[in-house]
Amino acid sequence: MSRGSSKWASIGLPVGVALVGLLGWDLAVRQSGSDLFPKPMEAARAIVELVEKGLLWKYVVASLFRVTMGFGLAVLVGVPTGLILGWFRPAFQAFNPMIQAFRPISPIAWIPVAILWFGVTDLAPIFLIFLASVFPITTSSMAAVQNMQTVYLRAAQNFGLGRFQLFRQVVFPAALPQVITGLRIALGVAWLVVVAAEMIAVNSGLGYLIIDARNAGKRYDLVVAGMLLIGVIGLILDIMIRRMERFDEVRWGYANR
């Protein structure tokens, strides 16, 4: 397949699938005769209504701010922690059981605790996003170091590199592709959690928009509009973090097909 054809397919195929999905959505609502569930055009008009009222940008910025803060803190804590635990076996043996014990606890279960500690403020969802992100990031970073091919270490040791130089010049670059994959997964989880947290712990953001629209007159057109916005922004965030895979320091770790 030529480069031009590949580029067309990467754009045309998703757009075609989206259009078919919208058509199927519209036909399904018409066939059901439902007066509650909106058609695609009604959801689009709801988004226009949010723009006209000046609420769209406010809600989107509020959600993105919380995700940026919580996810950013998780990266700052999780990546170095995971790399260190993966590299130093005594540290791994000491802390891994505790990490694996906390990791399965749903971030949603922490909502009452978050509200108790931080009240109905931005700190509550930021704390929940941090918890949701830090464990996937930490475990993926640990696995990236532990699963590294030993040929890299042997080659570096033949050049007489010390332990710190080995970690900085070999271990970290070798682990980086898998670390990026862990960040991508954790960002998706963070975006899920912020929506759930905003339904309970704050009074702004896209999650709050959905729950408020349902309670205030059962505006399901606004509910679906909020869902669409969440999906589109989640797609954009995923595309942005995948851009990191194009860096030379990372690209070598991904297969080209």
9 — pLDDT class (breaks 50, 70, 90):
low
Query: Per-residue pLDDT tens for 157-172?
Result: 666 666 677 777 777 7
If asked whether residues 60 and 164 sit together in one domain, one would say yes
Are 200 and 216 members of one domain? yes
Q: Are residues 99 and 152 in the same domain?
A: yes
Q: Are residues 3 and 48 in the same domain?
A: no
Instruction: Verify that 76 and 197 share a domain, yes or no.
Output: yes
Residue 256 lies in a domain: no
Under the banding of pLDDT at 50, 70 and 90, the label for residue 182 is confident
Q: What was the pLDDT predicted at 148?
A: 75
Q: In the predicted model, is pLDDT for residue 130 greater than 90?
A: yes
Domain co-membership, 6 together with 60: no
pLDDT over threshold 50, residue 257: no
With a cut of 60, say whether residue 255 has pLDDT above it: no
Please say if the pLDDT value at position 19 is more than 50: yes
Residues 22 and 144 in one domain: no
Shared-domain flag, residues 107 and 192: yes
Looking at the fold, whether 184 and 124 belong to one and the same domain comes out as yes
Tell me what pLDDT residue 73 has.
Answer: 95
As a whole number of angstroms, the distance between CA 111 and CA 121 comes to 12
**Domain harbouring 100, CATH code:** 1.10.3720.10
In a domain, 219, yes or no: yes
Spatial CA neighbour of 211 closest among 234, 227, 228, 189: 227
Domain-located, residue 184? yes
Number of domains in the chain: 2
Judge whether 257 lies within some domain: no
Domain, as residue range, for 70? 38-251
Do residue 194 and residue 178 come from a single domain?
A: yes
Residues 101 and 209 occupy one common structural domain: yes
* 112 and 239 in a common domain: yes
